[in-house]
Structure formats: C-alpha cells, structure tokens
Chain A
Amino acid sequence: MNRSATLQGAKPAVRSPKKRLPVAKTIVYIIFGILLVTQLYPLLWLLIYSLKTNEEILSGSFFALPKVAQWVNYKNALGGGKYWDYLTNSLLVTTVTMACVIVLASLAAFAITRFRWKYGQYVMLLFLLGMMIPLQATLLPIMVIFSNMDILNTRLSLILPYIAFQTPIAVFIMSGFMKTIPTEIEESAIIDGAGVLRIFRSIVLPVSIPPIMTVCILTFINIWNEYVLAATFISKESLKTLPFGVNSFVSQYSVNYGAIGAFLVLGALPVIIIYFLLAEKITKGMVAGAVKG
C-alpha cells in the first residue's frame, strides 16, 4: 500500500494533485485498499472452500481453514472429462453470442443515435423495455416457440435467447456512448465522400472500443453462469454447459459442496482470464478516446 503510494508520489501524474494533499491521498489509498480486500477476498475464500470437506463447509465458520486440503474435490470436478466438454460448449455458446450481440447492437445503436429519422427514439424505448423483462417470465412461451421451430436441444436454442436478452443492454450502453461522439467527425467524413458503412466501420467503431469491451464483459458474465434456460432447453449431455457441472453435484438428498467449489474455481478461471484481457482494452480505449477530440 504505502510503497505504491510513494512510488506514485515520485513521478507525479498529469492530473494528480502532486504534493499538496498527501493526507487526502493517504485516505484515498486506504479506501482503495479496504475495497481491494473486501472485493478480492471472495476469490481467496472460494479457493479455500474448494479444498474443504462437506462437513467443514457446512459448519460455516468464516475464517476456518481445511484440516487437510481436499484435492479430491478437483479430481471429482474434473472426473469423467465432463469439465472439458462443458467448457468447450460454454465457450462456443458464449463466443457466438458475444459476437452477434456486438455486431447487432452496434449497428442498431449507430442507427438510433446517428441517423436522422423519426422513430429512433421509439425504437430505443422498445429496447429499454426489454431490458427489464425477467427471464423466468419468458421461459414457458419461448419453450413453445422453440418447440414449434423444432430447435430445442440445439445450441441455437441457447444462443438465440441469449442474444435477445443481451442486445437491449448492449444497445443501451452503446448508444449512450455513441451519443457523445461529436458530429463534426461525420460531417468531415461526408465531405470526403465516405458512405454510411464506412463511417460506421472506420470512424465510429474504432472510437467505440471502450463501450464495446464493456458490453463484452457484461454479456459474458451474464451468460457464463446462466443455468435456467440452459437446463430447460438442453437435454443432450453433449451440449451441456458449465453451470450443469456445478449442479451435477447436487443430488436428491445431498450436495457435494467441495466439488462444487472446485468446479466453480475451474469455471471462474476462464472468466477471470478473459475479463482481465478485455479490461486491458478498456484502458487502451481511453487513449483512442483522447485522440478523437
């Protein structure tokens, strides 16, 4: 903590208030530190949890460490190779969904915020409405629709509703950002003779990297752990996703908590890796943002 504070002081940042407010700075760093502990602790807790026996977990003491590290939990979690199948399926479904959401939502957001047309606002409102709709309310009707389209038990039956449920938020976020792009950019592009698609592709998209990354992250976490739709629309073992793994340790009258913990660690790893990779892009995007003005 302190060390980083002094490091920071050694090479003053452009907008840092230099040495004028060391007290304020210390307080701020203390706040950062406390937050860091509270927000990172769950990961540590989960790691410890994944090494405990069922009894130790259910006894529920907050600080307790496992008597003997139960690596067998990881063996169980990986057992039968299900983890890798589920992981592959999850990655596939999530990637396709993310790609579709980004493309569809950025197109729509661009049209809503930058085109001159009467109904843009209403379309936006329509999307806004959809963000609010709880998944459970649509479960049964979607089942009926898919049953008639005969796509139950396919990856499409997950990807389609995931896209449908994630696009509103994506459109909302993207249009929020696109609104702030100065119109001068397009004006000069039009003078240069650029078409709509080129304006979208070469001018608007590049400066929208930060919101796109934000959307990526939100979409990813929203569907990575999604279980209700997956469990309802998928019955084939070969198509099941990671959340099935977590729930496969829950039987009629007992739950294998340790293995669940281990599975959650294994399931969270890809998310954390991907997340930190994407988050890097957000700060990179800030450079692009600084140039654009």
Chain B
Amino acid sequence: MKVLKVSNWTIAAFVLPCLIIYIGLVFVPIGVSVYTSFLDWNGIVPIGMAKHVGFDNYHRMFTGDSVFWPSVRRTFLLAGFSMLIQLPLALLVAILIGRYTRKANFLVSSYFLPVILSVVVIGQLWKTIYNPASQGGMINQILDKIGLHSWTHNWLTDPKVAIYAIILVGLWQYLGYHLLIQFTGIQNIPADIYEAAKIDGADGFKADRYITLPMIVPIFKISFVLSFIGSLQSFDLIMVMTGGGPAHATDVVAMHMYNMSFLSQKYGYGSAVGTFLVAMCLLVTVLINFVFNRLEKRYS
C-alpha cells in the first residue's frame, strides 16, 4: 500500500517535466501520424494539399496488401522466439552467474558486449557466418567439411529460412541485454531472505524456485516488454543483413512502414501501418501488464 500522501502540486512537480517532453515529442508526432494515415499524401507536398481518403489506407492495408500480414506474422515470430527462448535462457544464466561466480561483474559485462557494438558490425559478422560456402561462409564450410553438404543453405537468401537466420542473430545479440536486467533484479533481492530460507532448509535450486522466481517477476516483466518492443522495432539488423529481401521475405512491420513512407512515397499509407503498429503495441502491453499483475498478486 502506498503511504505517501502528497498535494497535487507535488505530484505535478514530479511527473510533469518528464511527461511534457515525452508527450510533446512522442505523442504529438503519433497524433500527427494518426492524422496523416487518413490522407493520400506523399510526404513532400504541403500537407494541406493532401487529399482526405477516410479509411482507404486501412482498408487496403488489411485486405489488399500482400506484404502486410506476412510482415505482421514475422514480427510476432521475432517476439515469440525472444520471449520463449531468449528470456528464460537469460534468467537461467543470471541465476547461475549469481550462484557460481564471485566475479559476476566481468561475465555480465562481457556477455553484454554485442549490444554495444554497432549493428553494422554485427550484421557484417553474421553475414560472413551465413554466406554460401563459395564466399567463405563459416556454417556452410563446416557443414561441407563434416559431410553434411545436403544441410547447407543460402541462409540469408532462401525465403523460407532467412527470417530464422536473422532471428538467431537477434537472440544472440540481445541475450546479454536481458541478462543484465535480470541479473540486476536478482541482485536486488535482499540477501537475508535467502539466509532465512536456508535455515528453513531451502537451498540451491529450491531457493530459486521459491524465492528468486517469485521475486523476479516484476523485473522479468521489464525484460518481457523490452523484448517485445525490440522485436517490433527490429529494423536496423534486418536492414543490414537482407534489406527485407529477397522479395519482402524478411520484412517486418516497422520496415514495411518505412518502405511505404519513404521509398514508395505513400506517407499516408505508411502512417496507417505505423498506427497499426502502435495499436498493436498498446494491446500487447496491456495484455502483458494484465498477466504479470496477476502473477505478482499470486506470489506476494
């Protein structure tokens, strides 16, 4: 139960500075985007000259755009892999690091390294891993050497596997990111809880099951939401690795929005895709919040 009762002025002083910058530069633009999503506008002529087309853009997006739905599906694929594989793995490693090492700092920092490096580097590195054997690609060369030639693939240009190849890179790159967050969360659990549990006979994994997991729920939620956002905004990495190709096979929603707004110069249409993205985010965030709030209640 919150105990601080304060005047409205105090609340305003604490919240408004942050809120105003945020609303002015994030929400107002989104408002503009929602508005432009009802226009037939190329983003170049003065906005006043654009024609209002009602829900035309949305109608076309939902029914007449062969790129849109597959890109939505791939976006969720990215998010799903991240949530179901990357996060549990990060949690596991965080627990293990807390348990087995004294110099945790070094490991956590090192694992974080790929996040620091520019996407350009990451993309180039993985391209040399995925390239065809004839171009020096590592995976294919290894497969060839151990006699699994039939397993070799053009990992980044086969429309069926390219998106998974990219997902793997994302999982690898951001493992350290979630590890850092969850490790911080575990460190924040008061040590005396573990001491007390130890006296009660709960040690090792048992302590994790009954103390770490429940106590980490709020932090895990942070990771969860961040991983979802990351997936929705995933753009740079795909841009560097495949550019969305071949023939849109690795397009995600954010990319479709960019392509439509700036390359096809249908800014209005791109805004509709963007608005859809924001709406989808809203929905999923509310959902995640709902689920985690119930989880938190159950454990506290």
A and B associate: yes
Q: Which residues of A contact B101 (CB under 8 A)?
A: 8, 32
Question: Dominant SS at the B interface?
Answer: helix
B110 touches A186 (CB 8 A): no
A214 touches B96 (CB 8 A): no
Known contacts A130-B26, A134-B235, A214-B180; A271 and B116 CB within 8 A of each other: yes
- Which one of A110, A217, A225 contacts B119 once the chains associate, using CB atoms below 8 Å? A225
- Total residues of chain B contacting the partner, CB 8 A: 111
B151 at the interface (CB under 8 A from A): no
A164 touches B113 (CB 8 A): no
B97 at the interface (CB under 8 A from A): yes
Cα–Cα, bound, A209→B228 (Å): 26
Q: Mark B245-287, 1 if CB is under 8 A from A, else 0.
A: 0000000001001100110000100010010011001100110
A69 at the interface (CB under 8 A from B): no
Q: Which residues of A contact B129 (CB under 8 A)?
A: 62
A111 touches B14 (CB 8 A): yes
Q: Mark B207-239, 1 if CB is under 8 A from A, else 0.
A: 000000001001101100110110011010000
A171 at the interface (CB under 8 A from B): yes
Cα–Cα, bound, A176→B219 (Å): 6
Would you list 27 pairs from A and B whose C-beta atoms are within 8 A, ordered by A residue? A17-B204, A28-B96, A31-B96, A60-B131, A105-B18, A108-B14, A114-B2, A114-B3, A115-B10, A115-B11, A116-B6, A117-B11, A132-B282, A136-B235, A141-B28, A171-B18, A177-B185, A180-B188, A214-B180, A217-B180, A246-B118, A272-B116, A279-B108, A282-B184, A282-B187, A285-B184, A290-B190
B residues with a Cβ closer than 8 A to A are: 1-6, 8, 10-11, 13-15, 17-19, 21-30, 32-33, 43, 93, 96-102, 104-105, 107-122, 124-125, 127-129, 131, 135-138, 141, 172, 175-177, 180-181, 183-185, 187-194, 203-204, 215, 218-219, 221-222, 225-226, 228-229, 232-233, 235, 254, 257-258, 261-262, 267, 271, 274, 277-278, 281-282, 285-286, 289
